[in-house]
Structure 1
Amino acid sequence: MGLSIKDFSEMSELSPQTLRFYHSEGLLVPAIVDEDTGYRYYDFEQVQEALLVSALRGAGMSVKDVRRAVEAPDTAAGLLHEYTEGLRRQREAEDEAITTARSLLTSWPEVRRREVPEMTVLSTEVAVVAVEKHRGQPDQYDWDEVAAAVRAAVAELSALAEEHGAAVAGAPWFTWAGETHEQRQRALTPEGPHWLAKVPVTAEARQLAALAERVDVQTFEAREELAIHLPGRATMPKHATAQLRLVTEVPEGLFPDASTQRHILHEDGTETAVRLSPLSGDHT
């Protein structure tokens, strides 16, 4: 008649309770179920299927996904790859969170005052990221999506610079798209764009002239800044924390010009910086 649930349990190293649960979920369905006694009997060949089920479940796959893999073996490899990619992304997020927590517990990032020299930068609009609007609350962005869009724009600018023989001369950044009246008007609409990406470069005059035919080439004026670097990926709480720290730690006689705020991209996090201007209004 086949293997009893007890014998099959011993051969598959799956408890009778687990086998009954799998049966109810459409996994490892017994070859025969005695209608009178309800006893389950399995074929010897099902031990092989049990081995696959145990391996996939041991990897952490859900019963639903394991059933899909068993029912359609040609999709099993793809399902496992999809699952392992999800685990990898989750692990990366956990590792990043651990690194951020360790950094914050060791010492909170400090606000720094510094002089920034004049730079030549390439500038371009960043692909629009949808704004989350909630009544009675400030508009919010998915900062992961913003970061991805910004890095894509930065990659394009860097490639363009290399194509024309220019050299990237520092960390890129992004800033609110409000440098012109037209940009400010568009930035207030859902269609945007809302951000500009900036890449500092060094290049000869002829290279800059060629670049200017393809992209906006600007002079970033020297200025005094207040900056804070928060580790890890950008999030709304980090963004809000940066704003708070920059506003509350302004030196006497100066004010932070919010319209000049920039978010500088580093491998280990994002640095938020704002220009310091004298209260007298003299920006020289």
Structure 2
Amino acid sequence: MDTGLTIGEFSRVTHLSVKTLRHYHEVGLLAPADVDRGTGYRYYSLDQVPTAQVILRLRDLHMPVADVKAVLAAEDVSTRNELISAHLARLEDRLEQARSAVESLRELLARPEHGSAIEYRTVREQPAIGIREVVDRQDAVSWWQGALGELHGFATARGLRRTGPMGGLFADDLLQDERGEALVFVPVEGDARPVGRVDALVVPGAELAVAVHRGPLRTIDLTYGDLGTYTARHEIGVDGPLREYYLRSPLDVAGDDDLVTEVGWPIFRSAG
């Protein structure tokens, strides 16, 4: 009687190693067509070759075993394609993250040794409208983008005159503990009665060391690093929220490379 292909023969046909085939049997991904009860030898049928080829390609795409099982168990083509498309979308996200990390590293290596130009500035308190919330660091960028858009819409709808660039204040906890208070604001004059998340407030004054960051937020840590190094070296840094002013915000530009952000680090500055 034809018992099918031995595990070694099936390995040669499918390019899946014997070790991998044994593992797939153990985890229930690809069971042999027959197992000899006396010897424990595994035998595979030729009908299983296409399934093995699908598994090989999905695993080459780093699809988890559980997801491969779901694809093989899908009752129709539409469900199977949805599962594969979802995994491909995750791969594309990871690829974009990798590209972004590579670009950031290249920009770091290409930076001039002297770093950012730093100046001192006295900032007066300003009446403003703002959105304040305690946020998780991983959600901070999406929250920030939404708050900017909401404040812009509110100011436009109310006819409020802006008296300066949009800005933000960020508590140390947001970086140190990955959760902390964030405030996005627009300096304005006029009636700014609170509605929903938007509140009327006064942005406090401060003494700041300021540097300009040009380009995407993914590299703004370099500008923060320059400011933090400078203030620590000169022993002038003080406690207080970090501050940003968006000279060219996402509302003003078509791409992240055109963003211009002033970063302010709170400092002690004598009257002289």
Deviation at 1:118, TM superposition (A): 9.2
Change over 3 Å in CA distance of 1:222–1:258 after alignment to 2: closer
Distance 1:91 1:128 in 2: 30
Distance 1:248 1:258 in 2: 16
Distance 2:135 2:107 in 1: 29
1:237-276 mapped onto 2 (5 Å cutoff): 242-248=227-233, 259=240, 261-264=242-245, 267=256, 271-274=262-265
Are 1:121 and 1:198, in contact at CA under 8 Å, matched by a contact in 2? no
Distance 2:5 2:161 in 1: 73
1:45-64 mapped onto 2 (5 Å cutoff): 45-64=47-66
Return the match for 2:118 from 112, 115, 123: 112
Aligned-residue Cα RMSD (Å) equals 4.4
Aligned residues: 247
Deviation at 1:50, TM superposition (A): 1.6
Counterpart residue type for residue 263 of structure 1 = E
TM-score normalized with structure 2 length: 0.66
Distance 1:171 1:46 in 2: 65
Return the match for 1:90 from 85, 94, 100: 94
Distance 2:81 2:54 in 1: 12
Paired residue for 1:150? 144
1:208-227 mapped onto 2 (5 Å cutoff): 208-209=190-191, 211-212=192-193, 214=195, 215-216=199-200, 226-227=210-211
1:279 aligns with 2:263: no
Higher mean C-alpha deviation, range 102-111 or range 230-239: 230-239
Change over 3 Å in CA distance of 1:216–1:55 after alignment to 2: same
Paired residue for 1:3? 4
Higher mean C-alpha deviation, range 12-21 or range 233-242: 233-242
Change over 3 Å in CA distance of 1:200–1:164 after alignment to 2: same
Paired residue for 1:159? 153
Distance 2:165 2:88 in 1: 33
Are 1:97 and 1:232, in contact at CA under 8 Å, matched by a contact in 2? no
Paired residue for 1:175? 169
TM-score normalized with structure 1 length: 0.64
Change over 3 Å in CA distance of 1:170–1:66 after alignment to 2: farther
Distance 2:161 2:59 in 1: 51
Deviation at 1:110, TM superposition (A): 0.9
Deviation at 1:197, TM superposition (A): 0.3
Deviation at 1:229, TM superposition (A): 2.9
Change over 3 Å in CA distance of 1:115–1:31 after alignment to 2: same
Are 1:31 and 1:41, in contact at CA under 8 Å, matched by a contact in 2? yes
**Cα deviation 1:232-272 (Å, max 9, x = unaligned):** 4379897566433345469xxxx677657412456358652
**Cα deviation 1:138-164 (Å, max 9, x = unaligned):** xxxx3x333332222212112323444
Paired residue for 2:184? 197
Change over 3 Å in CA distance of 1:40–1:92 after alignment to 2: same
Paired residue for 1:187? none
Higher mean C-alpha deviation, range 23-32 or range 144-153: 144-153
Change over 3 Å in CA distance of 1:152–1:66 after alignment to 2: same
Paired residue for 2:253? none
Deviation at 1:196, TM superposition (A): 1.4
Counterpart residue type for residue 279 of structure 1 = S
Report percent identity of matched pairs: 26
Counterpart residue type for residue 99 of structure 1 = E
Paired residue for 1:102? 106
Counterpart residue type for residue 61 of structure 2 = A
| Structure 2 residue matching 1:28: 3-state secondary structure | coil
| Structure 2 residue matching 1:174: 3-state secondary structure | strand
Are 1:228 and 1:246, in contact at CA under 8 Å, matched by a contact in 2? no
**Cα deviation 1:218-243 (Å, max 9, x = unaligned):** 68989986225386437989756643
| Structure 2 residue matching 1:38: 3-state secondary structure | coil
5+ residue gaps, structure 1: 131-141, 178-189
